[in-house]
Structure 1
Amino acid sequence: MSDTLPPFWRPDIHADRRPALLARGRIKAALRRWFEAQGFVEVEAAILQLSPGNETHLHGFSTTLIDDAGAGHPYFLHTSPEFAAKKLLAAGEPRIVDFARVFRNRERTALHHPEFTMLEWYRAGEDYEALMRDCAALLAEAARAAGTTVLRWRDSEADPFAEPERLTLHDAFARHAGIDLMATIARDGATDHAALAAQAQAAGIRTVADDSWSDIFSRILSERIEPRLGRGRATILCEYPISEAALARAKPGDPRVAERFELYACGVELANAFGELTDPGEQRRRFEADMDEKQRIYGERYPIDEEFLAALGAMPQASGIALGFDRLVMLATGARRIEDVLWTPVAEPGRGGR
């Protein structure tokens, strides 16, 4: 929030914000009804966790748990309910959903807030195609609850009732950047940095000497592809390179790509979904590689939740997805900034503390 913006608690400012905030409540109620009708159980993952997550560019808030003997133990506010939710899948829950308050450091823009609501749900025994159908249904539910027929952000619009477009990363890179992404990925998933850098430079995309393949991939995605997604109708961007799989399993028949998709509307990323990886050894390898990269870039690393890896080995095949609930409300109400749909935005440093 800019220093020039007045505080949210001023009565005139609150009056302007209130219609979107009331719509937020209607959308949440509608989505809760939808999940209940689908046989989901709503759960509440603990916010305090041993690890905030082990992705390279994910930054958690740290805190200290003091036990009854007065000893301090490092804990984190979770960046996602994912670890706890998958433990519940291992325990035997078949369909779960959580409207989770989550916390991410180093993130504050028109689309990011340090504390926000993540709508996360899991389907045991079902593939990630089911989540694609869920996304289409939830966009329509949110629009109906908000009393709109169009999703909006800045100069972009999308029809929430239209069937989402499905687009692979390979096709998206070719269509919007003129880059043959799969030509830079070997059959075993190994990536060719030089090949992607050469294509990026030919397309007029900046690269620097210490860029990794992943750095270049992310820059092409953010600069050339994401702004063009979800215009007119939502886009499901699928089949991510296996090097960008995070916690997703490899796609059967093509080990170069993962069962991962992201949902976009109006150029805004709304959700990230996985056909869930259930191999604890492979997940540990990915976590350790990501923490090595985090150490290289940021000079820090997070612990690995050993109990999570143990639960992963007992977890059934499942699909799971995390959707930015506040962003969905933004698009359904036409809000310009995420703070416009938060009842009490977090004060920026230097404001509200005097």
Structure 2
Amino acid sequence: MPTPTASPWWAPDRHADRRPFLLARNRITQAVRAWFGGRDFTEVETAALQVSPGNEAHLHAFATEAVTTAGERSPRYLHTSPEFACKTLLAAGETKIFSLGKVWRNRERGPLHHPEFTMLEWYRAGEGYETLMADCAALVALAAETTGARVFSFRGLQANPFAEPERLTVAEAVRRFTGIDLLSSVAADGATDRDTLAAAARARGLRVAADDTWADVFSRILVERVEPNLGMGRPTFLCEYPVAEAALARPKPDDLRVAERFELYACGVELANAFAELTDPGEQRRRFEAEMAEMFRVYGQSYPIDEDFLAALGQMPPASGAALGFDRLAMLASGASHIEQVLWTPVAG
């Protein structure tokens, strides 16, 4: 007998089940726009088609091409984030901007991932990344207030969206949940020692493959032992990532081993990623080249570097920026259990 399949999202009964979550999403959208408008932010719309979709080793894009009237072809990509375009607008003279729009990431699908999703990004020229922590906490509370949620729940885990978030450095979190001294494998200039971290991970029962890099081992520690414990009871800011794990962030002035970067978690779910922006085009080029070399090593492909973005970066003022997964926030605030419950028209497949 044929295997029964779930009804499509547009089946009337299934749509009726999803509709309360979708209407909650709409209310959050309106509230977020009003929140930024009330703080003198300018909403911007950035082009989805870009020369480069981003230059992080494990981010995968959807590729297409531009064709001129003469038939000449050149590669283009759907952006994985509006980050490059937003920073270019800061170079142009904007000072407080936000973008609420679609982005695309390939090889991603599951309860918390979708190939097309909505990203909320905002940037503050001349302000430190601690200000973005206050923004994130306010937006989490705003989403809960808008839907009437008194608690966020996901997979049996709970967090109070109105509580003051916990603040942990990555090194503190790794030590708390594994006993590993993470920074003992990071040199004063940010260089990493793969063997030191691998030995510590193996001693705690984590699998380490012979060809794993320092970044691979770090990622496994974070995903398997740290992230599932974050945002319990209240949201958590995980901050001061090793500089090797912050390709677009500025190093912390008093400790060059780590960067001014944080991520926000609730109920073990990553909601936002933020940092003080790196504005040195030479250093940014070096980091992009290293990321693309790693991407080619692992996946056999890489993306071009956006020279126009690097030129603009040299004109960009000091700034901080944040990216928040809007669909995930809508999930937690509405009580949904799967990202497709808060997407009006999910991508087939």
What are structure 1's unaligned runs of at least 5 residues?
349-354
Q: Which amino acid aligns with 2:13?
A: D
Query: What TM-score comes out, normalization by structure 2 length?
Result: 0.98
Aligned to 2:219: 218
| CA–CA separation in structure 1 for the residues paired with 2:109 and 2:162 | 30
The aligned runs of 1:154-169 (5 Å cut-off) are 154-169=155-170
The aligned runs of 1:146-161 (5 Å cut-off) are 146-161=147-162
> 1:70-127: CA deviations, max 9, x gaps?
2111100000000000000000000000002000000001110000000000000000
1:334 paired to 2:315:
no
| CA–CA separation in structure 1 for the residues paired with 2:66 and 2:185 | 46
How many Å apart are 1:20 and its aligned residue? Answer: 0.3
Query: Which consecutive aligned stretches of 4+ in structure 1 deviate over 6 angstroms post-superposition?
Result: none
Q: Which amino acid aligns with 1:272?
A: N
Q: Which amino acid aligns with 1:183?
A: S
> 1:140-169: CA deviations, max 9, x gaps?
100011111111111111111001100000
1:71 paired to 2:72:
yes
How many Å apart are 1:68 and its aligned residue? Answer: 2.1
Partner secondary structure for residue 232 of structure 1: coil
Q: Which amino acid aligns with 1:345?
A: P
The aligned runs of 1:340-351 (5 Å cut-off) are 340-348=341-349
Aligned to 1:134: 135
Q: Which amino acid aligns with 1:124?
A: A
Preserved CA contact (<8 Å) 1:8 1:14: yes
How many Å apart are 1:213 and its aligned residue? Answer: 0.3
| CA–CA separation in structure 2 for the residues paired with 1:66 and 1:292 | 28
Partner secondary structure for residue 220 of structure 1: helix
Q: Which amino acid aligns with 2:192?
A: T
> 1:177-235: CA deviations, max 9, x gaps?
11100111111111111110111011111101000000000000000000000010000
| CA–CA separation in structure 1 for the residues paired with 2:337 and 2:197 | 35
Aligned to 2:191: 190
Aligned to 1:271: 272
Partner secondary structure for residue 295 of structure 2: helix
1:33 paired to 2:55:
no
Preserved CA contact (<8 Å) 1:80 1:100: no
Aligned to 1:255: 256
| CA–CA separation in structure 2 for the residues paired with 1:310 and 1:266 | 40
Aligned to 1:241: 242
Partner secondary structure for residue 188 of structure 2: coil
Aligned to 2:103: 102
Percent identity over the alignment is 67
| CA–CA separation in structure 1 for the residues paired with 2:20 and 2:111 | 19
Partner secondary structure for residue 141 of structure 1: helix
Q: Which amino acid aligns with 1:138?
A: L
Stretch deviating more after TM superposition (291-300 or 2-11): 2-11
| CA–CA separation in structure 1 for the residues paired with 2:247 and 2:306 | 15
| CA–CA separation in structure 2 for the residues paired with 1:148 and 1:242 | 36
1:122 paired to 2:118:
no
Q: Which amino acid aligns with 2:186?
A: I
How many Å apart are 1:3 and its aligned residue? Answer: 8.2
Aligned to 1:352: none
How many Å apart are 1:246 and its aligned residue? Answer: 1.5
Preserved CA contact (<8 Å) 1:278 1:317: yes
Preserved CA contact (<8 Å) 1:152 1:333: no
| CA–CA separation in structure 1 for the residues paired with 2:4 and 2:329 | 25
| CA–CA separation in structure 2 for the residues paired with 1:212 and 1:242 | 15
| CA–CA separation in structure 1 for the residues paired with 2:329 and 2:110 | 16
Q: Which amino acid aligns with 2:98?
A: V
How many Å apart are 1:290 and its aligned residue? Answer: 0.5
| CA–CA separation in structure 1 for the residues paired with 2:285 and 2:225 | 32
Partner secondary structure for residue 136 of structure 1: helix
Q: Which amino acid aligns with 2:10?
A: W
Partner secondary structure for residue 47 of structure 2: coil
| CA–CA separation in structure 2 for the residues paired with 1:178 and 1:6 | 47
Q: Which amino acid aligns with 1:234?
A: P
Q: Which amino acid aligns with 1:190?
A: A
Preserved CA contact (<8 Å) 1:279 1:312: yes
Paired residues in the alignment total 347
| CA–CA separation in structure 2 for the residues paired with 1:246 and 1:164 | 25
| CA–CA separation in structure 2 for the residues paired with 1:282 and 1:4 | 51
The aligned runs of 1:262-301 (5 Å cut-off) are 262-301=263-302
| CA–CA separation in structure 1 for the residues paired with 2:161 and 2:285 | 38
Preserved CA contact (<8 Å) 1:259 1:274: yes
| CA–CA separation in structure 2 for the residues paired with 1:188 and 1:85 | 29
| CA–CA separation in structure 2 for the residues paired with 1:45 and 1:144 | 29
- CA RMSD, Structure 1 to Structure 2 (Å): 1.0
